[in-house]
Amino acid sequence: MPETKIDDVKTSGGAPRREGFFSRYSMWAMTLAFIIGVGLGVVKSDSVLAVVNTYDELEIFADVLSLVETNYVEEVKSSKLVEGAINGMLRTLDPHSSYMTPEVFKEMQVETEGEFGGIGIEITIDNGQLMVVAPMEETPAWRAGVKPGDRIVKVNGAPTHEMTLMEAVRKMRGKKGSTVVITIMRDGFDEPKDFNIVRDIIKVASVKSQMLPDKWGYIRIRSFSKDTGEETARSLEELKNQGMKGLVLDLRNDPGGLLNQAVEVSEQFLKKGELIVYTKGRMPNQNMRFTAQKTVDKDTYPMVALVNNGSASASEIVAGALQDLKRAIVVGTQTFGKGSVQTIIPLKGDAGLRLTTARYYTPSGRQIQGVGITPDIVVEQPDEEKAEAEQKAKEKKPSHLRERDLQNSLDSDKLEKEKKIKDVKEPADKTKLSKDSNGKRPLVDIEKDVQLQRGIAVLKSWEIIGDMQKRQGAAK
């Protein structure tokens, strides 16, 4: 993508040279209008009006900038003012659009490589407060007890209500072994509590797998980083070699990640040519369709996908595709609802712009943004039920944070009424898990995990129905 250039507003004697700047801007606007007229044979009056209005608004901005630089009680750098104005402008959009300084832009690139320093949480912003989407498993934040939906009101004593997302990320990162204090308010807390968390190098081993009792395969995807597709393929092959009869794909508390990895994971279970996800934006190049490029797995074993309110973005894409194409039964609770596309645009001076440019849609046309994925079978975990009851009693609001709850969150084009199947609260299976056939430490505790219990029960019923159909076919 070509670098986006931004003209500097030069100053002379402490005051900005507005006349020269706006002369250049006006000439650029007129040239653009001329080019449009030549290319299309007509210039729409509303387009010209939009350019004029933008010019007027920029002139007001330049006036304010000049007044502040000249008259403010203390000397202030114009670069600081412009950066603040950019951040303010992006705050009026949605929680995921942001300006990245060169330092933050570099950190963001490191993060998507799958290894970075910090505490291991995915965060967003709601009403000026930091909100935890999900802690990454086996990271310092996860071990400290940070949970999805927690409100981070302070970082090292500094209030978060005026922080941008990237500023908060930078404050929580640091050298391995150093401590960061995050102050959290949680449903059920009488007052905010401090969490002292020791930073570590966050190595995102995004996929873990294990064979559960009775040959039910289990794959947990914790985030979608650069190698998630390959790791999933390896795990799937290992389980099949051990005689897997069915699969539980655990996407709970998975905050998402890279789109191409969500596509790679999905096509492990789909047929070549099947649509996985598509995007729609204002520009033609933002309208894209992603399909399975090959039939990776020809087996038709039963499959369940587990989700909860910490499942966001890429994990929602996978769950939505498997659900729409009837490849898996989705079990758990409503997902987060983060279905918007962010484009990373390099800027002059090694800075960057993270801008929301499109929305995701599942194969059947359902919009994820602000809605999320509704499970086929809704199963609340006991601790979630308790939090929900406490929240209703205190605030009469939903206990789980989702994308649509965020301030300035993008609305769904059309809020869909999705069919909600029976709310299952009773444990479905008390099978205990100690160690697998290889003697590995268990990844899950089936006795306490009622969502997993229900998922295994679905696989068992699937197996029974399949056996019945085979016997009926043989009888004919």
Sequence ranges of the domains in the chain? 11-76, 115-203, 207-276+290-340+359-468
Instruction: Write out the chain's pLDDT in tens, 476 residues.
Output: 433 222 332 233 343 334 443 343 333 333 233 333 333 333 344 544 555 677 788 899 999 999 999 999 999 999 899 999 999 999 999 988 999 988 888 877 766 555 567 999 889 887 777 899 888 888 999 999 999 999 999 999 999 988 888 788 888 988 889 999 999 999 999 999 999 999 998 876 789 999 999 999 999 999 998 899 999 999 999 999 999 999 999 999 999 988 999 999 999 999 999 999 999 999 999 999 999 998 777 777 999 999 999 999 999 999 999 999 999 999 999 999 999 988 889 999 999 999 999 999 999 999 999 999 999 999 998 865 455 555 555 555 555 566 666 666 676 665 444 444 344 443 333 334 434 434 455 778 898 899 999 999 999 998 777 665 555 555 55
List pLDDT tens digits, range 377-432.
999 988 654 555 555 555 555 555 666 666 666 766 654 444 443 444 433 333 34
The total of other beta-carbon atoms located within 10 Å of residue 106's CB is 14
Q: Which CATH class is domain 115-203?
A: mainly beta
* CATH T-level assignment (fold) for domain 207-276+290-340+359-468: 2-enoyl-CoA Hydratase; Chain A, domain 1 (3.90.226)
**Contacts for 26 with CB less than 8 Å, ≥ 6 apart:** 55
Which helix (H) or strand (E) covers residue 357, if one does?
Answer: strand 352-361
**Count of beta carbons in the 10 Å neighbourhood of residue 192:** 15
Give 133-146 pLDDT, tens digit per residue: 888 888 999 999 99
List, in sequence order, every beta strand (DSSP E) within 287-328: 288-291, 303-307
Q: Which residues are catalytic?
A: 313, 324, 338
CA distance 454 to 309: 17
Query: Global pTM?
Result: 0.67
Alpha helices by DSSP H, listed for 145-207, are 165-172
Enter the tokens of residue 75. 């000397």
Nearest partner of 167 among 223, 91, 240, judged by Cα: 91
Residue 218 CA to residue 47 CA, distance in Å, equals 55
